[in-house]
Amino acid sequence: MNFFEELKWRGLINDITSPEVEDVINNQKVTFYIGTDPTADSLHIGHYSSLLMAKRLEQHGHHPIMLVGGATGFIGDPKATGERNMLTPEVLKHNFDCLHEQISKLWGFEMVNNLDWTKDMTVIDFLRDFGKFFNVNYMLNKETVKKRLDSGISYTEFSYMILQSLDFLTLYQTKNCVMQIGGQDQWGNITSGLELIRKKCGADVKCYGLTMPLITKADGTKFGKSESGTVWLDPAKTSPYELYQFLFNTEDAKVIEYLKKLTFLSVEEITKLEESLKNEPHKRLAQKALAQEVVRDLHGQEELDSALKITDALFRGNLQNLEAKERLSAVKNMDKIECNADLNLVDFLIQTKIASSKREAREWINGNSISVNGEKIKDVNYIVSLDKAYIENYILIKRGKKNNYCVILK
């Protein structure tokens, strides 16, 4: 299969603006751009597929430009659910700086800020030079806007389409950027940008657009900053261990899709993992490959090794072998129980509701079924105190082989 066919096989092509896009991607070397607004101080897993798409195109000889929207971030791309909260200039500046550093470190793309070409523009300039080219009826027919007509949409968010179109025009004029790529929810903005370029620069201009399907969870909801349980690409917000566990726990129904979209594994390698998923799902080889590839690509082999070490320690109970940073990662995403310190182990198990009675608690302790921080405890008078915490004020209790508890000592 050729390059474009592989992108389709990976599920990375949703819409293209003309059949010529396939030839452009396969046989030409063009400059294209992808954009994101600084509405948070880190990208998340929902962005990752799009950024890998840019990297795939770069590896095939195309030149990517990453636009971080210092201007459009002030406005907010319309959501189907309602108006966005306005961010302050200080927050946007902080977010922009964080994203700039993150993207530069991870991918090294050329980066631009649309605030550079909009900050000195007057309202009259905006309306005369650009707003004049946008028909309101045309804008109302765009999918995202149509979804908001019943609930209402402000003029501010309605005008976002014009600002993003101006981005495409500016990059075409200044950097010979002839293609924009984005998620499928960006189709209306991308096609509006193409229309603006043709109206300002001539109908014979060759520019293109491509959208990718949004990556979704098994229940059909998308990954996003406003969704619960956001998985961030910043290791300070989502540790490599947490990312590993999140991906390792991917449902069978989604893991092959994620392997295609979120890794550089070859067609042959993914096909073998798909066969393993079908014939020996209990081995979870597809999930292991997904977690390892993404964590290694994002955070490096050392952080992957650490994530694997934490995983193994929790599974085998070798908790004392972890360093302080690894211990914090291990407890961070565990469900927590609060309990007073300085209790004997029997009373501790009762207060945390791990055991339902003192008799049950004693039986477990005497039967060698209770571990504290990975060590078996057979003394019913053992005192659970802060000086015995696993890390900070956390203590880990294990009952039997599978029941793990993280307790915050007060």
pLDDT above 70 (res 227): no
Two structure tokens written together for 162: 């014009």
DSSP string, 354-373: SSSSHHHHHHHHHTT-EEET
Which of 57-61, 67-71, 200-204, 319-323 comes out lowest in average pLDDT? Answer: 319-323
Tell me the chain's radius of gyration from C-alpha atoms.
26
Query: What backbone torsions phi and psi does residue 26 show, to the nearest 5 degrees?
Result: -75, -40
Question: Could you give the 3-state DSSP secondary structure of residue 131?
Answer: helix
Buried b (16+ CB within 10 A) or exposed e, 115-125: bebbeeeeeee
Same domain, 309 and 400: no
Same domain, 18 and 121: yes
**CA distance linking residue 384 with residue 350, whole number of Å:** 13
Same domain, 38 and 165: yes
DSSP string, 210-271: EEEPPPB-TTSPBP-TTSTT--BSSTTTS-HHHHHHHHHT--HHHHHHHHHHH----HHHHH
Same domain, 68 and 31: yes
Strands 31-36 and 177-183: parallel
pLDDT of residue 51: 95
Same domain, 316 and 347: no
Of 332, 365, 384, the residue that ends a domain is 332
66 strand-pairing partners: 34, 111
Angle at 170 between CA 200 and CA 208, to 5 degrees: 75
**Structure-model confidence comparison of residues 160 and 12, the more confident one:** 12
Which domain CATH number covers 265?
1.10.240.10
* Residue 205 pLDDT level (bands cut at 50, 70, 90): very high
**CA distance linking residue 12 with residue 3, whole number of Å:** 12
pLDDT above 50 (res 226): no
Percent of the chain residues past pLDDT 70, beyond the cut:
98
Angle at 327 between CA 321 and CA 332, to 5 degrees: 150
pLDDT digits (tens, 9 = 90+) for 396-409: 999 988 788 999 99
Q: Residues 120-137: what's their mean pLDDT?
A: 90
Indicate whether 229 belongs to any domain: no
* Residue 315 pLDDT level (bands cut at 50, 70, 90): confident
Indicate whether 225 belongs to any domain: no
**By residue range, what is the domain housing residue 391?**
336-409
Q: Residues 27-53: what's their mean pLDDT?
A: 94
pLDDT above 90 (res 134): no
* Residue 38 pLDDT level (bands cut at 50, 70, 90): very high
CA 298 to chain centre: 11
pLDDT of residue 287: 97
Same domain, 290 and 189: no
pLDDT above 80 (res 8): yes
Same domain, 131 and 187: yes
pLDDT of residue 183: 93
Mean pLDDT score across all residues of the chain: 91
pLDDT of residue 27: 97
Indicate whether 222 belongs to any domain: no
pLDDT digits (tens, 9 = 90+) for 259-295: 999 999 999 999 999 999 999 999 999 999 999 999 9
How many C-beta neighbours within 10 Å does residue 149 have?
Answer: 9
Q: Is 102 annotated as a binding residue?
A: no
For the four alpha carbons of 220, 294, 299 and 95, in that order, the dihedral sign comes to negative
Order of strands, sheet of 110-113, starting from the edge strand that comes earlier in the sequence: 15-16, 208-212, 177-183, 31-36, 63-68, 110-113
Of 194, 212, 230, the residue that ends a domain is 212
For the four alpha carbons of 181, 183, 187 and 189, in that order, the dihedral sign comes to negative
Of 317, 332, 347, the residue that ends a domain is 332
Q: Yes or no: say if 83 and 145 are a contact pair by the CB < 8 Å rule.
A: no
Same domain, 282 and 372: no
Indicate whether 234 belongs to any domain: no
Q: Rounding to the nearest 10 degrees, give the CA dihedral for residues 278, 283, 287, 292.
A: -140
Indicate whether 217 belongs to any domain: no
383 strand-pairing partners: 344
Q: Of the candidates 325, 247, 338, 228, which has an alpha carbon nearest to the alpha carbon of residue 290? A: 247
Same domain, 49 and 125: yes
Same domain, 170 and 88: yes
Q: Is 390 annotated as a binding residue?
A: no
Indicate whether 180 belongs to any domain: yes
Indicate whether 290 belongs to any domain: yes
Which domain CATH number covers 354?
3.10.290.10
Domain total in the chain: 3
pLDDT of residue 142: 73
Indicate whether 224 belongs to any domain: no
Same domain, 171 and 27: yes
DSSP 115: G
**CA distance linking residue 298 with residue 239, whole number of Å:** 11
Which domain CATH number covers 155?
3.40.50.620
Which of 194-208, 241-255, 315-329, 344-358 comes out lowest in average pLDDT? Answer: 315-329
User: Rounded to 5, what percent of the chain is helix, strand, coil?
Assistant: 50, 15, 35
pLDDT of residue 225: 53
Same domain, 253 and 383: no
